[in-house]
Structure 1
Amino acid sequence: MIFLTRKAEFSAAHYYWNDTLSPEENERIFGKCANRNGHGHNYTIEVTVAGEIDPVSGFVVDLKELKAILEREVVSVYDHRHLNLEVPEFATAIPTTENIAVAIWRRLDGKIPNSRLHRVRVYEMADLFADFYGEFA
């Protein structure tokens, strides 16, 4: 078993807000991130797959195909979007770094041939990231 990681990037806006809470509670819990106009980040994602090395190609997965899957399933959907307003999975989930990692896992799970999804890491900033390994997907 070997692990292979591919990175991708996208820029997106979001805000944190829970409709079941009062505006005061949202502001207390989420601070500046509760501004309904949103704010943006340049996200970096790392997608790690696990599998056996193909003896013919030497790859775990076709790298061009993995890049195309990330582009189709994640980057083209999230890039330059307001996550709360334009991405379906965040109509009911707060687009925190943690929830973005889970959503990306769900978008990719089962779509990468000849390997299994091992980890999705989402960097919101250089010093803030979330890892998801699929336990609750």
Structure 2
Amino acid sequence: MKAYFSRRYRISASHRLHSEALSPEENRAVFGKCNNPHGHGHNYKIEATVGGEVDANTGMVINMVTLDSVMKEQVLDRFDHKNLNDDPLFAEQVSTTENFCIAVYELLQKQLLPAILKNVRIEETENNFFEYSGK
């Protein structure tokens, strides 16, 4: 039987939406106030959903302690109270929440085996949220 388990985490991080491929005017036109040279911050909510067979001995898809540990090591410690633009993952790509969502997925995916990471969802504001389910 395949089942799914989702867990939510919270971090605060800042970023500046800016592309070196665009002129200053184009950056302002595309990213508006999010192109502020000093950046801006969000209180992100990050959800990870893991699926797989329910272990006959534990009754779980994945131990919540394992998921918490991997999330802390791979994501929370790395990004909480940091500027996303300072992370090497965003050295050559814009630190949009779409790209952040993909990065979180890729950081977690191999660390959770034998469970399978179904998707990552990041809520940036109460109106903006993003999901990624892999390629």
Q: Does 1:99 align with 2:95?
A: no
| TM-score of the aligned structures, taking structure 1 as reference length | 0.95
The residue type paired with residue 111 of structure 2 is K
Q: Separation in 1 of the partners of 2:113 and 2:59?
A: 15
The root-mean-square deviation of aligned C-alpha atoms, in Å, is: 0.8
3-state SS of 2:55 partner: coil
Q: Which structure 2 segments of 5+ residues have no match?
A: none
Aligned pairs for 1:82-97 within 5 A: 82-85=83-86, 87-97=87-97
Q: 2:76 aligned with 1:75, yes or no? A: yes
The answer on 1:33 being equivalent to 2:34 is: yes
CA offsets per residue over residues 30-70 of structure 1, 9 Å max, x none?
A: 00001121000000000001101111111100110110100
The alignment's TM-score, normalised by the length of structure 2, stands at 0.96
In structure 1, the gaps of 5 or more residues are: none
Q: CA deviation at 1:100?
A: 0.6
Aligned-partner SS, 2:124: strand
Q: What letter corresponds to residue 117 of structure 1 in structure 2?
A: L
Partner of residue 117, structure 1:
117
Query: Which consecutive aligned stretches of 4+ in structure 1 deviate over 6 angstroms post-superposition?
Result: none
CA-to-partner distance for each residue in 1:71-125, whole Å, 9 max, x for gaps?
Answer: 110000000001102x110111111111011000110111013211100001111
Amino acid corresponding to residue 131 of structure 2 in structure 1: D
Which residue number in structure 1 is paired with residue 108 of structure 2?
108
